Structure 1
Amino acid sequence: MYRTPRGRLTVTTLSPGQAHTLAARLADLGHRFSGVTADQHTAATFAEAWRRHSGGAAPVRDWWGRLYRLGTLTEPEPLPAGRGRLVGEREHEHLMRWCREFAADVGESVSIDAESWAATRFAEKRYTFWEAPDGTPVAMAGANPLVGGQVRLDPVYTPARHRGRGYGAAVTVEVSRAALAAGAREVVLFTNPANATSNALYQRIGYVPVTDFTGYAFSG
């Protein structure tokens, strides 16, 4: 398990007994969390156990995602014209604008500007643009640092005006290949299970669904 900077607990798969034991122990130690994220069964069991042991209000489900793991990376055919390249320091305003647009698309309530950037989950990632032949960025993908042999891609974003042309798949392949070259044994990402388009896209380029995860927010 680990705790995010925003106080959210992320835990591995636990049996019901393990989830209750962990919740009781953390509550006894005086810990406080803003929520929990785990596979569906673990998250639901821990959230209820936390309510009982912490005396808080009923937890509220606030996130649902499907975990994918890269199998055999497959380049899309046809590959759209253009190339992938790392985002430069002088493009930070452009990057923040696209992160704000991505957050709005997925329903995240977050302030993303020069002052708040370092405290957001979008900081400390390595970003890549896919750019058209004329040099115009048309899609982006971020990669979290390599930890324990694993790299997680997040976010992947194509502005609405550029969608439907394969740019999202192209930049995802570019970033996935870079993660493997950097030594990642696993490359993973989360999708919105309700978005059939993105789920089909990732499967076409070699990502395999693992399981669904759920997040619960705590209060009190």
Structure 2
Amino acid sequence: MAWEISSDVDRFASVAGDFLRSSPVRHTVFLTLIDNLRSRGLHAYGPDKPYFGWWTTPDGDVAGVLLQTPPHPVLFSAMPPAAISEAAEALADRPISGVNMLDTDLPEFVGSRTVVPGMRTRLHRLGTLTPPEPAPSGQARPAGEADRDLLIAWFRDFYEFVHETRPDITAAVDDHLAHTRITLWIDGNRPVSMAVRSQPSAGMIRILYVWTPPDLRRRGYAAGATAAATRAALDDGADEVVLYTDLDNPTSNALYHRLGYRPVEDRAMVTFS
């Protein structure tokens, strides 16, 4: 039983692919990160190359994985207790700003180290889509090239809001536009909200970002955009539609529950002091 670390995304996808596809809901971020790193290049999330890891049982089966796109925290899947205790040693020679893992696994990994708590998130999967009531004013449409400048500004605003730096905003917008993965909510011929979804992977699509400018909030636009993007994902053939929420934001958690999303698991992020 041991961790193996590699910087080869194709090898990681080959070795860990069956494990990731065995639970595409819980492994949603891994699957979409692999797709993006393959389509947009290894530097899509920062100047340093990402690395990948997998933990195998004595029978040679993959039972846990990790992935880091520096400078972001190391992302861990659920894993056996033995893998958690061995992970810190496996990464001892690598600079790690923090980790993102199941909240139940975090104490074992952190041990006696001093950490700074970060965002706590909850993964949800769609049960039955329930359109918002009352329906917000306006209607949905797919974003097009004419919306590009607005989308670049909105993506930048979104990342600033969540305190995340992304070097590839323009490339990300262009990629989503090329595959028609951005849904806009329009009111009075004016875009007022957006919901962005991932490309299909192992039958799963994730709602990646939902953004409404601050001066346009509390009018139901985000609910309309999210419901429309969810419907588009189902129309694209998704067996599962998922999204993450910030556990410290009761408004968004309540909104997605009303739309038909149900909790799956909780995750926590910490940085090392």
TM over 0.5: yes
Q: Which residue pairs with 1:3 in the alignment? A: 67
Quick one: percent identity of the two aligned structures? 37
Aligned residues: 204
AA of the residue aligned to 1:93: D
Higher normalized contact order (CA 8 Å, seq sep 6+, divided by chain length): 1
| Within-5 A mapping of 1:108-123 | 108-110=163-165, 116-117=168-169
The 1:2–1:119 alpha-carbon spacing in structure 2 relative to 1, beyond 3 Å, is farther
8 Å contact from structure 2 (residues 152, 170) kept in 1 = no
Query: Aligned partners of 1:101, 1:91: CA distance in 2, in Å?
Result: 15
Aligned partner of residue 135 in structure 2, secondary structure: coil
Residue in structure 2 matching 1:181, options 212, 226, 235:
235
Aligned-CA RMSD value: 2.6
CA contact (8 A) 2:195 2:207 kept: yes
- TM-score normalised over the length of structure 2: 0.66
8 Å CA contact retained: 1:72, 1:207:
yes
Unaligned runs of 5+ in 1: 52-57
Of the candidates 246, 253, 256, which is equivalent to residue 199 of structure 1?
253
Residue deviations 1:14-57 (CA, integer Å, cap 9, x gap): 24332112333344xx55544321211223423449x6xxxxxx
* 1:22 matched residue in structure 2: 87
- Going from structure 1 to structure 2, the CA distance change for 1:196 and 1:36 (only over 3 Å counts) comes to same
Within 2, Cα distance between the matches of 1:44 and 1:176? Answer: 35
**Residue in structure 2 matched with residue 159 of structure 1 by the alignment:** 213
Question: How many Å separate the matches in 2 of 1:153 and 1:2?
Answer: 22
| Contact 1:15-1:42 within 8 A present in 2 as well | no
Distance 2:197 2:88 in 1: 31
Q: 1:118 to 1:138 in 2, by over 3 A?
A: closer
Q: CA 1:33 to 1:184, structure 2 compared with 1: closer, same or farther past 3 Å?
A: farther
CA distance in 1, matches of 2:81, 2:175: 35
Counterpart in the other structure of 2:119: 63
Note closer, same or farther for the CA distance 1:23–1:119 as it changes in structure 2 (3 Å cut).
farther
- Asked if structure 2 preserves the Cα contact closer than 8 Å seen for 1:98 and 1:157, the reply is yes
Match of 1:214 in 2: 268
Identify the residue that residue 137 of structure 2 maps to in structure 1: 81
- CA drift at 1:64: 1.5
Cα distance in 2 for residues equivalent to 1:41 and 1:123: 38
